Amino acid sequence: MNILQRYVSGEVLRAFLLSLLTMTAIFVLFMIAAEALRSRLLAPQDIAHLIPYVIPSTLPYTMPVSLLFAVTVVYGRIAGDNEIIAVKSAGLSVMTVIWPTLFLAIILSGFLLYVSRGWIPRSAHQAKLVLFKDLEDTFYKFLKRDREFNNPRWPFLIKVRDVEGKDMIDATFNKRAKNKDNSDTYSATICAKRAQLHFFEKEKLVRVHLDQAELQNYGPDDDVALINRNILEIPIPQDGQFNMEKSIQEYPNEEIEKELIKARQKIATDRKQQAITVGLQFAAGRLDDVKWTEVQRAFIEHTYWQSRVDQFETEKQLRTSMAFGSLLFVILGAPVGILFAKRDFLSAFMSCFVPIITLYYPLMLFGVNLGKEGSMEPTKALWIGNLVLAVLSVWVYPKIIKH
């Protein structure tokens, strides 16, 4: 019996590894090609550096499908070769050849859960850093692509006619300002025939060397001044460099827990403190002292922090749910492979894969939306798809027991 189980495990593992290698290569090429077309910033050396960090991000999608392919093909083949009938003739249950694959699936699901909690989000963040590892080079890539750099967190809107190497041709720097009604405007414009930027990350500063430049001030004097061979210093906004903030998918689980604690403390205290303050002012008859703008901000921030809690909780549950989904793919795929023994192996795989594509993943996306919007608890919303797979498995297994 041990020989039979080792044989089945070996066949499934071999098919799984081959399928995983193929699907990962396809996913990586697709993701990098899509990023290259979207951003138009990737040089060949960037792609080479990016690949090792993109591969982990594909595992939550490639591992479950590779497992499904492996079990449907292997069990379809051994059933088609009447090996299942031979096992039953020996007085053994059909589960004898399924248990080894289930144990393998449990191990792989545990591995996927482990890497989803730390390695995968860190790799996703490192992939972003590959694009922005050299701020000066990245800035020039943006400028060459868009002919402008319009980050609202930066004090200047920068436009150029062209970029030649590190030279900005016919550069214009519009200094941002605010009107009395808080609308956006510009307080000054610097026009230069040529300009060069140099980033000093330690000083959080950008120095712009200007050539044949003039300054136009907007105000009562409305004067123009020549500033040839002068240097314009632009502070780099903290946490505002080229959208370097982490997305929720880039947070490891330990950081998610810290963010959840912070958000829940804000929810529990900020609005309550504001309500108590206003209540005391009402009780004392000091209505003029009520700062309604702060009250409004407290309610807005409460909504923001509640949204953060929903998003982080959804991400946590999504990682666990998708890892457990790999096990359910195997639980469902093995009996389907046996039932389709007399058909080609592709039919068995597609018979499982098509319902999963049309049912499981849409339910998963539906659960993600429900969880992030706060319409349903993520602990329930993200497990709807897995529950459907479990129900289908319960319906299929009696059929193979009698097979």
Token digits of residue 120 = 């995968």
Position with higher pLDDT, 197 vs 64: 64
Residues 6+ apart with CB under 8 A from 334: 71, 72, 75, 98, 101, 102
Statement: residue 178 has pLDDT above 50: yes
Token digits of residue 55 = 């591969």
Cα dihedral 314/320/321/323 (nearest 10): 140
> What's the 3-state SS for 215-237?
EEECCCCCCEEECCCCEEEEECC
pLDDT single digits (tens) 340-383: 775 566 777 777 788 777 888 899 999 999 998 888 888 889 99
Answer for the pair 152, 168: CB distance below 8 angstroms, yes or no.
Answer: no
Token digits of residue 191 = 């026009």
Position with higher pLDDT, 89 vs 12: 12
Statement: residue 291 has pLDDT above 80: no
Statement: residue 283 has pLDDT above 90: no
The percentage of the chain sitting over the pLDDT mark of 70, rounded to a whole number, equals: 80
Confidence of residue 56 (pLDDT cuts 50, 70, 90): very high
Most confident of 122-136, 208-222, 303-317: 303-317
pTM more than 0.75: no
Answer for the pair 372, 311: CB distance below 8 angstroms, yes or no.
Answer: yes
Most confident of 144-148, 292-296, 384-388: 384-388
Confidence of residue 224 (pLDDT cuts 50, 70, 90): very low
Q: What is the mean pLDDT of the chain?
A: 80
Residue 352: closest CA among 49, 147, 72, 97? 72
pLDDT of residue 60: 92
Residue ranges per structural domain of the chain:
2-131+310-401, 135-235
Residues 6+ apart with CB under 8 A from 324: 109, 113, 386
Statement: residue 244 has pLDDT above 70: no
Statement: residue 37 has pLDDT above 90: no
Distance in angstroms (rounded) separating the CA atoms of residues 172 and 194: 10
Statement: residue 25 has pLDDT above 70: yes
Position with higher pLDDT, 286 vs 361: 361
Answer for the pair 214, 227: CB distance below 8 angstroms, yes or no.
Answer: yes
Token digits of residue 107 = 């191990």
pLDDT of residue 317: 93
Statement: residue 265 has pLDDT above 60: yes
Angle 238-243-245 from CA coordinates, rounded to 5°: 70
Which range has the worst mean pLDDT, 292-296, 316-320, 391-395?
292-296
Distance in angstroms (rounded) separating the CA atoms of residues 385 and 359: 8
Residue written as token pair 């980033």: 199
Distance in angstroms (rounded) separating the CA atoms of residues 175 and 166: 22
pLDDT of residue 220: 54
Confidence of residue 177 (pLDDT cuts 50, 70, 90): confident
pLDDT of residue 226: 46
Its sign, for the CA torsion 249, 253, 316, 357, is positive
Which range has the worst mean pLDDT, 47-51, 200-204, 230-234, 342-346?
342-346
Residue written as token pair 């860190």: 122
Please compute the mean of the pLDDT values over residues 314-337 and round it to a whole number: 91
Confidence of residue 222 (pLDDT cuts 50, 70, 90): very low
Please compute the mean of the pLDDT values over residues 238-255 and round it to a whole number: 72
Please compute the mean of the pLDDT values over residues 98-103 and round it to a whole number: 90
pLDDT of residue 4: 80
Position with higher pLDDT, 162 vs 298: 162
pLDDT of residue 223: 45
Statement: residue 114 has pLDDT above 90: yes
Distance in angstroms (rounded) separating the CA atoms of residues 354 and 362: 12
Most confident of 243-247, 251-255, 269-273: 251-255
